[in-house]
Amino acid sequence: MTRFLPDEFRIPAIGAGVIVLAALLPLFDDGFYLAMAVNIVLYAALCTAWALFSGPTHYISLATAAFFGLGTYAVALGNELLPFPLLVALGAAIAAVLAGFVGAATLRISGVYFVIFTLGLAELVRQIVSWAQVKWSTRMGLYVFTDFTEAHIYWMLLALTAAVFLTGWLINRSRLGFAMQIIGNDEAVARHCGIDTARLKIILFMISGAFIGMAGAIVAPRYLYVAPPSAFNPTISFLVVIMALLGGTRWLWGPLVGVIPFTIVMEFVSANFPNDTSIVIGIVFLVIVYVLPDGVTGRLEQLLARMRRTSTASKAATVKEAA
């Protein structure tokens, strides 16, 4: 691990400040805005965890629902038997193990094969869980009764998001992060440098899967009633990809930039056009694709570049005038 330089702590310090400010929200509102903040923080954690793996490797994973559902089920099945923090850890472990197996089986293939496989994986896990429930119990739905309020769930998700960001930051400045950068740019070159690409990709996929599993575990008490269709909802996988790509995955905070406007716009649409959400959302998507093809961060980069160009141009002009 590379040594820390005092300079490097500026960004995590800002991040910590933002998290502390965000943690104060439940003191001001415990109704709609808190409920919406829970959704934003949930997707912030999911999208950032997703981008930990998919950002540098450019593998589009649709397995989010599988990891998420396993975390939810860990809590639903064990809620009466084990303390909650242990169940969250268990959810993370189960999701990581699944990610490890899937990674070992599929990360040697790439492109569209990987996408299709991960999409099928979520459905496969759902079917296995349903089958197991049919075989060993006569109930399909499980109840998760806890004493957690919305504020508790919000704080837990916020802590998870902080952990995802911290992990992402540590990875980026580690040998693993450096290796991932090379793999992302050119996998053949990475292999020639002696990087064990398959192993590193599996490790990263497991870390990403574990965080997604934890998010599912934390949200389970909010569902209260857990059944396979809601825990393994494929919409989650797609929303995560859409929001992360909207933000852009080149930077750690890119997905966050996608999650916040996306959630607010969707909220605005569903509040004002309850009967035509599908149409309006479709139009919003078209606008996004045409106006922000590289995501919000890509657009910001462009704007910054343009501003720099104009400022150098004006500087050049003043220099000329002075001469």
Partner 1 sequence: MFKRTMMALAASAVAIAMTGGIAAAQQTLKIGASAPKTGPLAGGAAVTHWPSLQLWIHDVNARGGLNVGGKKLKVELVEYDDKTNPEEAVKNIQRLITVDKVDFLAAPYSTGINLATAPIIAKSGYPHVATSAATENMAEFAKRWPNSFWILGSSTEYAEGVVQALQTAQKAGLIGKRIAVVNVADAFGLELAAAGKPALKKAGFEIVYEASYPLGAQDLAPVISQAKAAKPDAFVAFSYPGDTFALTEQAQIQDLEVGVFYVGVGAAFPAFAGRFKDAATGIMGIGGINMSSKENLDFRRRLKEVTKVEPDYWGSAVVYSGHQILEQAIERAGTTDRAAVIAAIRKTPAKTVIGEIDLSTNVNSKNWTVGQWQDGAFHGVAAKGFDGAKAPIRKPAWKK
CB 52 to partner 1: min, Å = 23
Residues 101, 113, 225, 285: which binds partner 1 (CB under 8 A)?
225
Residue labelled with tokens 């439940």: 26
Taking the least distance from each CB to partner 1, the nearer of 170 and 279 is 279
Q: Does the protein bind partner 1 through residue 138 (CB under 8 A)?
A: yes
Q: CB neighbours of 129 closer than 8 A, spacing ≥ 6?
A: 69, 73, 228, 231, 232
CB 125 to partner 1: min, Å = 15
Which stretch, 101-109, 182-190, 192-200, 291-299, contacts partner 1 (CB under 8 A)?
291-299
CB 113 to partner 1: min, Å = 25
Residues 139, 194, 313, 318: which binds partner 1 (CB under 8 A)?
139
Q: Does the protein bind partner 1 through residue 293 (CB under 8 A)?
A: no
Which stretch, 51-59, 104-112, 137-145, 183-191, contacts partner 1 (CB under 8 A)?
137-145
Angle between helix axes 197-223 and 32-57 (nearest 10 degrees) is 170
Taking the least distance from each CB to partner 1, the nearer of 179 and 288 is 288
Q: Does the protein bind partner 1 through residue 124 (CB under 8 A)?
A: no
Which stretch, 108-116, 175-183, 192-200, 225-233, contacts partner 1 (CB under 8 A)?
225-233
Residue 173, amino acid: R
Taking the least distance from each CB to partner 1, the nearer of 35 and 159 is 35
Q: Which of 213, 251, 260 is CA-nearest to residue 41?
A: 260
Q: Which of residues 262-281 bind partner 1 (CB under 8 A)?
A: 264-265, 268, 270-272, 274-275, 277-278
Taking the least distance from each CB to partner 1, the nearer of 9 and 131 is 131
CB 300 to partner 1: min, Å = 9
Q: Which of residues 24-53 bind partner 1 (CB under 8 A)?
A: 29, 31-36, 38-39, 42
**Binding region for partner 1 (CB under 8 A):** 29, 31-36, 38-39, 42, 127, 130-131, 134, 138-141, 143, 145, 150, 219, 222-225, 227, 229-230, 233, 235, 261, 264-265, 268, 270-272, 274-275, 277-278, 291, 296, 299
